[in-house]
Structure 1
Amino acid sequence: MTIKVAALQMCSGMDPEKNAATMVKLARQAAADGATYVQTPEMTGALMRDRDALRAMLRDEDTDLIAATAADLAKELNIHVHVGSTAIARPDGKIANRGFVFGPNGKRICTYDKIHMFDVDLDNGESWRESAAYEPGKDARVVDLPFGKLGFAICYDVRFPSLFRTEAMAGAEILTVPAAFTRQTGEAHWHVLLRARAIENGAFVIAAAQAGLHEDGRETYGHSLIIDPWGRVLAEGAGEGEAVVMAEIDLDVVKASRAKIPNLKNGRDFNLDILPALAKGGMTV
């Protein structure tokens, strides 16, 4: 089955209404060009360092502006709209970094909460403690859509191959990685990580990215990507600025790639032996 998909590249600011308007504009452009599935980046609703200000604007998933706008868009355009993620107030008072998928009828099909938290100190002095504000998700997820089976990840999740392998083993044919990758880490790892996840799982990868200098001062890498199961980049965005990154994907390519390299079938359980350090001149088995 062949479909047109789109990764909507954004540079979200601190005003959810402006970001929602950008999402609408880009989604309509993508649909006009034939896309039946569109994906937005991580933190579509707002990129904001000030956590108190972020908490003040938070809504639950039933009243969130980005989720409601995406639902209306999906119905208006008769497409699947995947909000890569936005900040959502949880009933327990914590925050979820949550993605949504809405169907052509405007109904919410599923959600996914980012599992792995970006807690790092970078060489350039940047320090991030995502776990200080967000509650990590606990559930990997695969959803069977009319055009194929979709697996979910968000940004930092890309560094944990077992998540993608679990989803691929459950039948995922398209792996999604909406992101707000920092420029420093993006320049070093973005392309190679995403291509690796596609190759090792014989799956398409769609990764809508935040791109450029944001209102809160952070800088994201951009380069939204659509990659085929052989690791070939089918479409790519620039390093900054809004864009609609589109490609035609054929799900039969997944079957063909997994037949050529059947590593999902060839995996085996194994034991790990940790051997003691050898004495000088010693031997081991």
Structure 2
Amino acid sequence: MSDPTSTAVTAGQHLALDQLRQIAGSRHQGVFLTHVDTAPANAPTGCIEARISVGCAGLPRAENGLRLRSEEPVTLYIPRDFPFEIPWVYTRHRRFAGAPHVVWARYPCLYRSTATEWDPADGMYGFITRLLDWFRAAAAGELDAPGEPLHPPHAVGDYADGLLVVRRNAPVAEDDEPWLGAALLHRVSDSRSDVVGWLPFEEPWPATLAELRATARLPDEAAVFLAPAVITAEHLTSEYPATAKALIKALAPATSPRACSSA
């Protein structure tokens, strides 16, 4: 276990680690603290990492429930402003992909609305209780129980990123193979681009900008460019990753070696 006494660790993060140790020390619901990293390479900025193991052997499982292992490893990313800012839950596997309230295949979503459901006074005790409730509901097939509000698809974005308007229907992945190619984009303004065509890798591409504009039926002065595109039939959930590395990691299981070599 790494030393959590680094000066980069805030008072709130020290509080979270102390509470986690107390929970693990009391064997609360089979929760064990297995690792602490105060400078994790892949964590959100400013977060520290705590890995825990949650005992799930005794949870009743319904036919439509998630298949859980006797112990489920979970990574918690604890932000600098804990408990006023809520931690993230991350799994290092994709076994929960496609289940309700699992964002981008690896992030179980414990709260429909942190603004109304997260109480800083509960600290890590309340957070772990909520995590245990999530596992119980997952095993019982009740993550979206009848009568409860549904969690809508969503993606974290920023208006500064601009607007993308899709004006041509996307290709379809067939025979369990992803579609690989490029999206043809028309830059309408500094804050907006339109998808006006799709170019598969296996077909000849326009050799010049003039040919590219002609393919998209755009005027001579139009600003055009290409963006790599992967379309897969695999369920990736609606949450878009924040980095190119995370995107490649998420797409890798859905992209066959043959498809990769053709790219």
**TM-score normalised by structure 1 residue count:** 0.29
| Higher RCO structure (Cα 8 Å, ≥6 apart) | 1
